[in-house]
Amino acid sequence: MSARGRVSSLLPDFPWDTIASVKAKAATHPGGIVDLSVGTPVDPVDPLIRAALSSASAVPGYPATHGTPELRAAAVDALKRRYGITGLDPAAVLPAIGTKELIAGLPRLLGLGADDLVVIPEVAYPTYQVGALLAGAQVARADGLTQLGPRTPALIYVNSPSNPTGRVLGVDHLRKVVEFARERDVIVASDECYLGLTWDGRAVSILDPEVSDGDHTNLLAVHSLSKTSNLASYRAGFVAGDPALVAELLEVRKHAGMMVPFPIQAAMTAALSDDAHEAQQRERYRVRREVLRKALLEAGFRIDHSEAGLYLWSTRGEPCHTTLDWLADRGILAAPGDFYGPTATEHVRIALTATDERIATAANRLTTR
């Protein structure tokens, strides 16, 4: 291909490709690798959800880009029931083929380009940057609005609870972001995929009345069913918020054929309508978190933030790749902090997404002298 044709040249190396040698080293451990580098679910999909998927598998026609009315109503009800979000119109809900796809495409779908600034957290999920780069937009890392100076961004990403740090932003912080956005006509996209996995304190949505005062103008909340419903393989997510913004996203996605398959929509409806399976999965992660947290502290790690989410943001006070090697010697694979930003070079992200047996194995390896 000519240089003109290589979109990949705009992007950084895919992070997980860069730790292949460390993964290979960890895999040589006699007891096998404990891969804690990714947040992929390992537990079963609930039978209720699988039954809903199967029940819709014979439908031959195209699915609606906007999603079924049942799905959108289930999303509105779940957001109210689980997180206290009120005043959301079902028309302002739009299913997505996984939230990574949505985040990667959002700046372009919103019409951003070279003259536009996208603000992402200082330590952030890499896809925020990727989406801005694919749109040709400018990127700034900032955790505080004063860091932006006189510049007015087109889009601000917030992520609470955070991936990778597990940090939770309080109501006052989120209100300041919303007030800033309203003053300058800025769109705020809040990645809330870990909202249902809060361990210490309370996490709130950008759409929560305490934050938004019930006005969702220019606000988008992104939600995933990958985590507490174990639907990563289903690619099941949705965005909700400002009716006008959602309508614009819908119009563009209709033209592009960006449709969630009908059986997946049925599975999503079932998952959003049932809280029991989600509570069960949350408890699994709570137990694994406690086992791993105790072992890391005993092994001399410090755990920062990590009030929520599926990760323990951990450090030994040394370069993250030195820690990665230390863990690999024990057959454990983690994600280095520099995947997530230039200020995170002394941390590693250690996931809770492994079976009970593998978590116990990791804990034993960490604490065996």
Q: What is the pLDDT of residues 229-262, one digit of tens each?
A: 999 999 999 999 999 999 999 999 999 999 999 9
- Mean pLDDT, range 315-325, rounded to an integer: 97
Q: Place 23 in a pLDDT band, splitting at 50, 70 and 90.
A: very high
For position 146, what pLDDT does the model report? 85
Residue 74 token pair: 């289930």
To the question of pTM greater than 0.75 for the whole model, the response is yes
List, for residues 327-364, the tens digit of each pLDDT value. 999 999 999 999 999 999 999 999 999 999 999 999 99
Helices of type H across the chain: 20-27, 47-55, 69-83, 99-109, 126-134, 171-184, 209-212, 243-256, 262-273, 276-298, 320-328, 356-367
CA distance 160 to 192: 6
pLDDT above 80 (res 365): yes
Mean pLDDT of 28-41: 95
CA distance 273 to 311: 26
Q: Looking at residues 174-194, what average pLDDT do you find?
A: 96
